Amino acid sequence: MQVHRKLSAEPKQGSKQSCLSMYSVPPQEKLSVTEFEEFAYDRLRLLNVIDMARAKGLKGSDLETVIRKGRDDCMPNTPAGARKDRFSHFILRLAYCRSEDLRRWFLQNEVELFKWRFVNNPPDDMNLWLKGHSMNYEAISKDEATTLREPLLAAFLARPHAKESDPTSLFDRQEHYKVGFEQVVDLVRQRRVYLARGYAYVPASDLVSIVANQVRMHLSKQLSSMARAWPALREEESERLSGFLESLATQYVGDDYSQPRNGGVKVSIADLPMLSRRSMPLCMANQYAKLGETHHLKNDARNQFGLFLKGIGLTYEESYAYWRAEFSKNISGEKFDKEYRYGIRYQYGLEGKRQDWSPHSCAKIINGPGSNAAAGLHHGCPFKNFDETQLRVTLQQLQVASSDIGAIVDKVKGQHYQIACGKYFEAKHKGSTLIETELGGISHPNQYFEHSSKFYAEKELKEQAALGQAGAAKVPPAADAIIAQA
């Protein structure tokens, strides 16, 4: 099957295709539906990597390293990668044009990707691209740079970011651009540039901000135009692509947790009280607690928590026994079988479509319908749904340190709920640096559980090894001799 919509590269600058793009002209090649989905998922993975890095506050070389790895993994700098880049941008533009929040998320991360590409692009290609887009920011010649080195260096050293170990070396690696001073009034006001004869000499590190603002304005207009066209497009593609595009913002693109990934550790009903305190993320621990208090959960929470239990290894028989035992404290067993047993069988693929349903991802939980605890609705993400007071009280009850609570609440205020969950993981797993060094944030409740299980398994092995060493050290010399003779 082919997607015949004309979704083409921008005109080439010089003899080769630049990795920089304003994405003004959609691709005109045909694209299979399989490629359509694959390209969309890969760009979503890349933008998620950038979003996580931004939420963690990474800057400079740390941010550059993360983006480079994400680019290499999802959209390598090859002809095939360039093709994927063009198509995937326009696909995600369709998916993220539909609301202000979606447009804001898309713009922030697309502009960050552009900025990384801009500063890591060869100067010759950068200059060709700028000229091709009527941005008359040409790098000054080597002769002019040599002539003006003293005033340019003085202006550079006066900048806050130049307080580094070797600012002169950093300066020597910078291209400078001559632009009309009226285009960089903010930089002039902050005395961050050298002025001469009506021109400002802007280091490449600041030029990227000027260019990125123009890119942001251009993409913002494009997204607004796409939003107006979306209703008609949605109707036209209702049978093929609309559903996929509308669900893309909540798609989980990480590991599959439809089957247990606990390193072979068997989970039973008897383990749930301990696991709720030790290894369940806050969303699932909250639903476990509410089920224990009220002996009832409404449909959305049953789906969310039931599939999580399936994902950590409870069999259908165990899940049925667990839910029935809890609900039967309020209703008869016959009533439970009549009204709720089908739903549990459905989750395990024993009824209906007989599909092996996957547990809900963080994106699906966060972007799903809101909850209202007063109305008995306990599904969703507590980091998003709880107010600050409720969240602080809950974390205190879970014995999270005050300093950790402050860090978690700060991330929640910035709407970085998955990063907040990562901080919560660290607070509950002292000594773990897994989230900061590898994950950046939690993307799936079962991912949280998996890494928690690994953490405690390794901790127990270390404790056992330490006990073994202590026991060996306590063996008296006489006993050593007896053992040797034996």
Residue keyed to tokens 């552009």: 114
Model pLDDT, residue 437: 45
Q: Cα–Cα distance between 11 and 18 in angstroms, integer?
A: 9
Model pLDDT, residue 146: 86
User: Which of 402, 418, 484 shows the shortest CA–CA distance to 49?
Assistant: 418
Q: Tokens for 221?
A: 């207009």
Does the model's pTM come out above 0.75? Answer: no
Main-chain phi, psi angles of 476, to 5 degrees: -70, 155
Q: Is the dihedral of CA 431, 433, 434, 436 positive or negative?
A: positive
Helix or strand holding residue 371 (H, E): none
Strand, coil or helix: 267:
coil
**382 contacts 284 by C-beta, under 8 angstroms:** no
Residue keyed to tokens 């307080």: 163
Q: How do the residues of the chain divide into helix, strand and coil, expressed in percent and rounded to 5?
A: 65, 5, 30
User: Which of 249, 257, 246, 340 shows the shortest CA–CA distance to 302?
Assistant: 340
Residue 402 CB coordination number (10 Å): 9
Q: Cα–Cα distance between 463 and 33 in angstroms, integer?
A: 52
Q: What is the pLDDT of residues 296-310, one digit of tens each?
A: 999 999 999 999 999
Q: Cα–Cα distance between 241 and 246 in angstroms, integer?
A: 9
Q: What are the structural domains, with CATH classification, of the chain? A: 13-121+211-248 (1.20.930.80), 130-208 (1.20.930.80), 269-454 (no CATH)
**405 contacts 392 by C-beta, under 8 angstroms:** yes
Please report, in tens digits, the pLDDT of each residue of the chain (486 residues total).
333 333 333 434 443 456 889 999 999 888 998 899 999 999 999 998 898 888 777 777 888 888 999 999 999 989 999 999 999 999 999 999 988 888 999 999 999 999 999 888 887 888 888 888 888 777 888 888 888 888 888 888 877 654 555 777 777 777 888 888 887 777 888 888 889 988 888 887 788 888 888 899 999 999 999 999 999 988 888 888 888 888 887 776 666 676 776 655 688 999 999 999 999 999 999 999 999 999 999 999 999 999 999 999 999 999 999 999 999 999 999 999 999 999 999 999 999 888 888 899 888 898 887 777 778 889 999 999 999 999 999 999 999 999 999 999 999 998 889 889 988 998 999 887 655 545 556 889 998 999 899 889 888 888 888 777 766 666 555 444 444 443
